[in-house]
Structure 1
Amino acid sequence: MELHNISNAKGFTVIELLIVLAIATLISSIGLIYGYDTFTRSSVRSQEDTLGRLLQTARARAISNVNQSPHGVHIDPDKYVLFSGLTYDPLDPENEPFPRNSSVIISTDPSGMNNFVFAQLSGDASPTGTIVLNASGQNYNIVINSEGGIDW
């Protein structure tokens, strides 16, 4: 009977497998962190685009004199609402709600503004200021000036 020498056997040692596993774990962790950062940035950017376009829509409707009234955008914790009139009425059946990502924190400067109204025909904005969208340190700004200009 012929015996084979184990030291000449081909294969991987436990140490080699552990090293490869450690390297794969490290690379996966780096990818996960980078992927989460990219997702967060994309989420904030998407909310910025949505809110910016809704503000532009409200201004365009006010300038076009739709319903012969001013138009605006109301910011709730879970949605944006397009509305017509000088003030936001949550019971108005003509309100148009749009869902928003509640993980993106929205603040305004000056603080406390959650209704942005554009005057009919002129499109002038009231109030004016900056809307700041933030998630995990990613900040994006939407600036509204007195003439209704929206910059994001």
Structure 2
Amino acid sequence: MSFFYKKGMTVIEILVVVVVLGIIFLIVIPQFSKMRENQALKNAVGEIISSLNKAQSQTLASVDSSSYGVHFQPDKVIIFKGAIFSVGDANNETIDIILPAIILTSGNVYFNRLTGSSAGINSISVGIPDGPQKTISISATGVASVN
């Protein structure tokens, strides 16, 4: 009595593996997209807080005997010299915000030269279109925090 053993995989086994892998990919791929968006939002918030801290530090250090401020546009943050933002000023330092994150609040924050206290807008909203948002609050003393 001789038994003949088949070696290899059947078409049904291959189809089952392909279907299982397809289901796994359908579950996993959207999560990577959300992770990317959340990371872009975290990076944007970090860039904004760093810019605010830098402007306040430069003001308190009286760099070039001046005060400094931060101007917000949807896709960039601009550190400027003085209490008034000027678009074409050569001293402006531009920091680009990486898409898909955008700044939802436009305006300026500038810091008092002697105390470091802030004036101008006191909160900045940053978000992903049709996605999560974060708000950065600036206290009267110039301290930025994320809500």
Q: Tell me the TM-score normalized by structure 2.
A: 0.87
1:53 aligns with 2:50: yes
AA partner of residue 25 (structure 2): S
Contact 1:127 1:146 in 2 (8 A): no
Q: CA RMSD in A?
A: 1.9
Asked whether 1:78 is paired with 2:75, we answer yes
| More off after superposition, 86-95 vs 120-129 | 120-129
Distance in 1 between residues matched to 2:103 and 2:89, nearest whole Å: 24
Look up the match of 1:145: 139
8 Å CA contact 1:81–1:97 kept in 2: the answer is: yes
Residue 71 of structure 1 and its aligned partner are, at CA, apart by 0.6
Structure 1, unaligned runs of 5 or more:
none
1:22 corresponds, among 14, 19, 24, to 19
Residue deviations 1:57-95, cap 9 Å, x none?
001111111122221111223321111111111111111
Displaced runs of 4 or more, over 4 A: none
Contact 2:79 2:93 in 1 (8 A): yes
Distance across 1 between alignment mates of 2:140 and 2:67: 15
How far apart, in 1, do the equivalents of 2:102 and 2:44 lie?
Answer: 10
Q: Is the 8 A contact 1:74 1:115 kept in 2?
A: yes
8 Å CA contact retained: 1:64, 1:121: no
TM-score of the pair, normalised by structure 1 = 0.84
- Higher alpha-carbon Rg: 1
Which of 66, 79, 84 is 1:69 aligned to?
Answer: 66
Aligned to 2:28: 31
State, as a whole percentage, how many aligned pairs show the same letter. 26
Seen in structure 2, the aligned counterparts of structure 1 residues 20 and 102 have a Cα distance that, compared at 3 Å, is closer
What is the aligned residue count?
143
Q: 1:104 aligns with which of 101, 104, 111?
A: 101
> Equivalents in 2 of 1:66, 1:46: separation in Å?
27
The one-letter code matched in structure 2 to 1:123 is: G
Question: Is contact 1:84-1:95 (8 Å) kept?
Answer: yes
Q: Counterpart in 2 of 1:13?
A: 10
Q: Distance in 1 between matches of 2:41 and 2:99?
A: 11
